[in-house]
Amino acid sequence: MNVNKSSLDLYWKDDFVALESAGKIILHELREDEAEGDVHRRIVSNGNHSYFLSETAFQHVQSIPLPRQLDEEVRKVKHSLEMGIFAEESFAWMIVDHKLFLWSVDVELDFMNLEIQSGQTIVSVGLAPPKKGVFKETIEWCLIVTTLDEVLLFALQKHDGGFRLVRTHYNVSTDSIPSVSVCGLPDGRIFMGGCDGSLSEFAYESPSNGTSHRKTQEQALNGFYDGSSTSMPIINSTHNATTQFFTGGKRALASALYERPKKCRKLDHSANGFKALARTVVPGWFMKIPSALFGSEKMGSLDKIVHDEERKCLYTLSKRGFISAYDLRDNKIAFKASLDCVQISRQYLSAVARGHMFVSSSSIEFAGGGAAAQAGLGGMEGARSILKLADPGNSGKSGILTPIEIHVLPRSESSRLTLLAITAGGLRYYLTSLSSSLDKSNLAPSNKMTVCHIRAPPPIDPMTGSCEGSFDEDIPGSRTPRVFSETVVDAAAYSGGHMFLALKKAEQTNSASAGELGNVVIGTNTDLVARKVTKKDDVVLRELPGGLTESVSVPSALFGGRIYSACANRTAHNSSVMKLMLNSQTPSDSELSNDLAPPFYPRVARKEEEKEYNGKSPKSSRIVGRSTALVQSTGTKVSGSLVLMQVMSNFFLSRPLSYGLKLNSSLRRSANYSRHPLYRLSARYGTSGFSFTASGKVRSDVSVPRSRKSNKSARLSPWLQRPAVIPLSDISLSHLFPCTTTIVASLGGLHFFRSGTILQSLSEVLMAAGPHLDSDAGVIAFYNNYGAKQFCTMCLTLGLGCGPAKGNSSMSEELKRRAKAAAFKLGGRPKVTKKEGFENELNEAIVVENADEPLIPNSYEFSQSFLSAGLTSILSRLLRPIWFKPAVVVTEGPKENFPAKVELLLDEATLADVRSPLFALKMLMKDKFQKAVEAVPGVRNLDSSQMEIDGTNVLTQSMQFRGTLRLHNTASGSLSQEDAEVTAHLVEERNIHSMFRLLSRVIQLLDLLSLLRRAQVMSDLPEVEWGSLHGLTISQLVQSRGGQERVDSLLNSLVSSSSSPSYTNVIPTADSDAIAKSLATECYLYFSPGSRYAYLGFRAAKEALRCLDDSARRSACIKHSVEKFLTAASYWTNAQLITGRLMHSGEIETYTEKAHVALRYDSPLARAASILLKLEEYVAIVDICSITASNFNGKHNSTALTDSATVFYPWENMLYHNRKPSIVSSNEDSNHGRNGMSSNSIVVGTSVTPQDAVLTCNAIILYNVLIVLNGPSSEQSKKMMVSACAASSDKDFLRAFFQNLIDTKHQSILLKIDSPELERWLKNNKDHELMWQYYVAQKKIYEGWRTNVGKSYQNERKLFSRGENPLFGTSEKFL
């Protein structure tokens, strides 16, 4: 029975089928991880919103008391005492009246202090990055200090491993409106909130010298290549200080010699225009009159300002609970909306208390409906109790609805919600400023703000610190949200789903002892435990959490006074990897269906090639180096007077004397490099999103162009350049986050709390477990709580050294050993089972449908083991940061003759961080999955070219059984237990092996990108053809055949271009040889043996050219070069590389034209023949072309090649390099015309065919023959070249060779060739005159006479027997 005999055989025969299969599983896992991360989606889901007590969710780590000097200053306080934390740099600060103290919370350094000389009380402080171009590079931060009368700017400068405060001249008046809050933006802008509710900006600029606002040529170029600029203004290079003097007069020169006053001002962005106008017109002393005369005091002071960098939005919170939103797009600021939180929250609570399912107010949205709204507040009763506490008549409690803190909800947490507000009563308001449209790409704030959800705090009694809430009967251990009447919130913080609350009894807020009592600290975390839920009919199931389920911890109370401030900081091991991880929304199926982006070939390269192969040398250029600033040549002559004026102006303006006269020598490249640079590597990387220079929309039907004439690189879709941020759950990010740290500031010192991750909890469970991990109660509980698949995923994550084990040498090795042991002991086994009715229990295993699984009978289903599912899950999470992102984005130069801009996805540090866990996973698979990795599952012969299905009886019967079922179209019958077990293990091992192949390709691709970056800056190597990789994602380069061909093209160009005229005299250095060796040993899945041997051949040939003609060294190098080229030729099976074409030309071309195309586009065969011609190795030229042609015409078995010099496993031999071209039959080539073209060879619009490759091989030989015959070569050289061609056994080539000699006026040489094939060819052409000349030249008188006279054989014998010469008319006897 052979119905299913070839199922696995076909699976492994195509090298890319396994990669595509593994890629589909990765895609499934990526989409699965995106299902539960969005906070808004969790609110909408039909889940509970309960709290669960946990002792480890939030833990106190340490407390650091204040320095003694600060204690003494606190005792001297008279008017004001404030404390806080700057999250940007982990600085703690304290204000004591007119003094400010600043110190680092991470390192033990002396604190910095400043004192306002006027004695004015400090109102507020803030931190902001410095604006570009204003301060020196040693300035890290700007410190903004506000007093009652003025705003001062100080600089934080690096000094002796720490910082020091430096006073600047930037200061403005407050106009009698003190600023009570400060917010610094990443671009250096500073916003301040006034005590009257106004919003203002502290604007400062760099000193102007008349030319500071004009970009120089170098600055414009750097903005294009290294920044995000999409255009580059070309500055006239002759525009210098001298011309400025004559055009701008003495003001321009004076501005350069004398420093102008620094610009600093206060800009009022308040919505009240009359108030802003009054401050501008009315004198300052008059503004001391209460500002209520000029505007309403309804909102109160702006106590908080936060910035949403992703959405370009600014939020303000007033003392009376008003939240306003401002749009910051286009470097402007515009008021958009305002929300009275107290009033709107009352409406929300009232609707919940009445049991309404919706609210008519446009500012309220019940996300998840009325049920979710009730669950967040503890039901209708909970809403009523909150309304009662917030009644205005309840003194001291009416403020529980007023927000005291606001925090931005980044897109990594929610695509809909934008802001979280925490009230004095611990309530959380989930707000959005986005419009309700379905366009998720529109991040601009709308004209209204909406309350989507309100959540009550955990039911913690501040008197006892115990949880006193009611239980959910269906879920044991759950607590419903509740607001206690005895508490208010002193301080709050939030970050990444972790919340911190500092509670204190309300009646002690204003008491004399309030400052001495401590707070009750509460910490909450997102809860992902699958708890037991009792359903109808008393069925107990484990259900994954839904809604805003959280775990809550209550550490011991902190003494030492009221908590002034808290700061939650969630830091990743590597911020660049985390950015890539979060900005990684999985593309849709329609987006993934697009073809590969077309390659890009710079215009400069084409012009150079045309000049090179037309015999013209390129003109000299002012463009030097690959990463230098470029200067356009004006083409005008410079007189001596202008040079003198330039030097004098440089002297007076303190510039280098060479300014404007020549390029900086540090930017020049090696003298060996004479061609125009084609590419320039950008200093910008894809970790922050690619620039928009290559932005645009790619058509779904985009295809590779037929020629290399495109002047612009293909424009990429937005999802490729900057993928959308996707909210991911904590469990998906746990391998990148060590923990969340909360820093609390009080008079008792700085207190540090830690919110551990799930991996942290698992590591503690594993380290505390006994020797039998599979039976330990803690391990089993964790296994049940998070499910088998997630348990195995987390164990494997720890086994790789991620999470808590990262950088922790004390527990790393033991933890990794235990984690791997737990995963393998509890990972389960794969199963093939009979299909039955659906069960109610949650099945975590991935079930493979029979249509995609040829080994499983129709009535059976396959379930992979939890260990295999965990392996797939961790691989998908490690690949997520890079998988669907372009490895390289190329943009054409801003002007003609400028190099193209190259943006790489990963810098070296980020690439190493991405590669490290992937490599650890590969080592784990090699160690623990040896059976699935070391041999190809289901293959008996390890030779990849001769794979056969395993002949075991069990497997054969299993496949025959399935074939029988399909043949008879029936679902009856059953597999034996042994058949099912063997088949299940085979399928799982095949899947694991496919994953290993994909993982190996990813690691080698990362290594390849790193090596290409190094090769780009080496002067002895050609430039890397980055355009070949433009727009191709990592997944496409790894798992698609087209991606492999692009890499082949790039590496071939890197190798073959080394023999071009620009590099013929350049011998590779040791560094270049090291790169070639690394490509061969670390990237052998991409770097083909043909390219490897070709590199060695080119290197030896160039070394031979530098030796003396008759030296032994030259002979040895030539011999070595020929050997390597002959070996490389046997591996050249890529028709596109041989022809130098991407598509079939569709035109009739001469052999010379074909050879020129091959040379111009770095055909390795054409390049090898060119350099061998210089070495006068004519026989070698014919041999390598003949061997290469035999790879395409079936006369050489290229599929049986082996090259195990660098591979690790036998099955990796020639993997992804063993192309099997369709064979060109002799019948197709028997009808060559005068140019050797077949009548069937022109197929417009198709890919390059093997027939094209054969014709190119012949064309390269004939092209070099003409060079020898028409050049100054010696007669001996011409004879050797022609003899080598005539000795060929390829009849098709010989016929083309003969015809070409006639067409090129070398008939005399043709007639000297003694070849039976030539004689037959002449007979077939029936050219009697030419045949007669041939016989004469060959002294074959008898054959010549037959040709000339045309007599019969009998008449010929009679004539010769009488001694008559039919050709010359004599009686000379020839017999």
Give me the DSSP letters along 1207-1258.
-SSGGGTTTTT---PPPPPHHHHTT--TTS--TT---TTSBPPHHHHHHHHH
Out of 963-977, 1038-1052, 1331-1345, which region has the weakest mean confidence (pLDDT)? 963-977
Rounded distance between C-alpha atoms, residue 734 and residue 349, angstroms = 36
For 463-511, the pLDDT digits (tens) are: 666 767 666 656 777 888 888 777 788 899 998 888 999 887 655 444 4
Percent of the chain with pLDDT over 70: 72
The average pLDDT across 39-55 equals: 84
Residue of higher predicted confidence among 604 and 693: 693
The yes-or-no verdict on residue 278 having pLDDT over 60 is no
Beta carbons of 496 and 515 less than 8 angstroms apart? no
pLDDT the model gives residue 853: 67
The average pLDDT across 402-414 equals: 93
pLDDT the model gives residue 846: 45
The average pLDDT across 979-1003 equals: 93
Q: Which of 886, 889, 888, 893 is nearest to 678 (CA)?
A: 893
pLDDT the model gives residue 1220: 58
The yes-or-no verdict on residue 204 having pLDDT over 70 is yes
The yes-or-no verdict on residue 303 having pLDDT over 70 is yes
Beta bridge partners of 1308: none
Pairing of strands 900-904, 679-685: parallel
For 686-700, the pLDDT digits (tens) are: 988 888 777 754 333
The yes-or-no verdict on residue 922 having pLDDT over 70 is yes
Beta carbons of 815 and 805 less than 8 angstroms apart? yes
Beta carbons of 988 and 1013 less than 8 angstroms apart? no
CA dihedral for 1357, 1362, 1366, 1372, sign (positive or negative): positive
The average pLDDT across 1179-1208 equals: 76
Out of 15-29, 220-234, 764-778, 1035-1049, which region has the weakest mean confidence (pLDDT)? 220-234
Out of 158-167, 913-922, 944-953, which region has the weakest mean confidence (pLDDT)? 944-953
The average pLDDT across 1095-1122 equals: 93
pLDDT the model gives residue 328: 93
Residue of higher predicted confidence among 691 and 149: 149
The yes-or-no verdict on residue 841 having pLDDT over 60 is no
pLDDT the model gives residue 1221: 52
pLDDT the model gives residue 364: 93
pLDDT the model gives residue 64: 87
In the numeric block, which tokens belong to residue 380? 């209708």
The yes-or-no verdict on residue 604 having pLDDT over 70 is no
Rounded distance between C-alpha atoms, residue 528 and residue 506, angstroms = 33
Mean pLDDT of the chain: 78
The yes-or-no verdict on residue 191 having pLDDT over 70 is yes
Out of 152-156, 709-713, 925-929, which region has the weakest mean confidence (pLDDT)? 709-713
Residue of higher predicted confidence among 1127 and 860: 1127
Rounded distance between C-alpha atoms, residue 592 and residue 587, angstroms = 6
pLDDT the model gives residue 843: 44
For 369-404, the pLDDT digits (tens) are: 888 999 899 889 999 999 988 887 766 566 899 999
Out of 242-251, 468-477, 1012-1021, which region has the weakest mean confidence (pLDDT)? 242-251
CA distances (Å), origin 425, targets 48, 218, 387: 22, 57, 12
pLDDT the model gives residue 236: 45
Q: Which of 879, 890, 884 is nearest to 720 (CA)?
A: 884
In the numeric block, which tokens belong to residue 57? 């969710």
Q: Which pLDDT band, with edges at 50, 70 and 90, does 234 fall under?
A: very low
Q: Which of 445, 455, 398 is nearest to 422 (CA)?
A: 455
Out of 57-66, 72-81, 642-651, 1206-1215, which region has the weakest mean confidence (pLDDT)? 642-651
The yes-or-no verdict on residue 703 having pLDDT over 80 is no
Return the SS3 of 889: strand
Q: Which pLDDT band, with edges at 50, 70 and 90, does 50 fall under?
A: confident
CA dihedral for 968, 970, 974, 980, sign (positive or negative): positive
Rounded distance between C-alpha atoms, residue 732 and residue 32, angstroms = 10
Out of 144-148, 1062-1066, 1138-1142, which region has the weakest mean confidence (pLDDT)? 1062-1066
Amino acid at 1267: I
pLDDT the model gives residue 1238: 34
pLDDT the model gives residue 749: 87
The yes-or-no verdict on residue 989 having pLDDT over 60 is yes
The yes-or-no verdict on residue 987 having pLDDT over 80 is yes
Percent of the chain with pLDDT over 90: 35
pLDDT the model gives residue 479: 84
pLDDT the model gives residue 650: 53
For 92-135, the pLDDT digits (tens) are: 999 999 999 998 887 665 778 889 888 899 999 999 999 988 88
Q: What is the pTM of this model?
A: 0.84
Q: Which pLDDT band, with edges at 50, 70 and 90, does 1345 fall under?
A: low
The torsion region of residue 561 among left (phi > 0), alpha (psi -120 to 50) and beta comes to: left
pLDDT the model gives residue 530: 72
The yes-or-no verdict on residue 640 having pLDDT over 60 is no
Beta bridge partners of 163: 158
For 560-588, the pLDDT digits (tens) are: 678 889 988 776 656 889 889 989 999 99
- Residue 328's Cβ-side half-sphere holds a number of Cα atoms within 13 Å equal to 19
Q: Which residue has the tokens 């055949």?
A: 1041
The yes-or-no verdict on residue 628 having pLDDT over 70 is no
pLDDT the model gives residue 273: 46
The average pLDDT across 2-25 equals: 74
For 515-532, the pLDDT digits (tens) are: 455 678 889 988 888 766
Please return the burial class of 193, using the count of CB atoms within 10 Å of its CB with bins 0-12, 13-18 and 19+.
buried
pLDDT the model gives residue 248: 41
Out of 397-401, 922-926, 959-963, which region has the weakest mean confidence (pLDDT)? 959-963
Rounded distance between C-alpha atoms, residue 455 and residue 439, angstroms = 27
The yes-or-no verdict on residue 899 having pLDDT over 80 is yes
Query: Residue 522: in which H helix or E strand, if any?
Result: strand 520-526
Residue of higher predicted confidence among 67 and 664: 67
DSSP one-letter string for 235-251: PPTT--HHHHHHHHTHH
Beta carbons of 429 and 418 less than 8 angstroms apart? no
Q: Which pLDDT band, with edges at 50, 70 and 90, does 242 fall under?
A: very low
Rounded distance between C-alpha atoms, residue 588 and residue 34, angstroms = 13
Q: Which pLDDT band, with edges at 50, 70 and 90, does 438 fall under?
A: low
pLDDT the model gives residue 835: 78
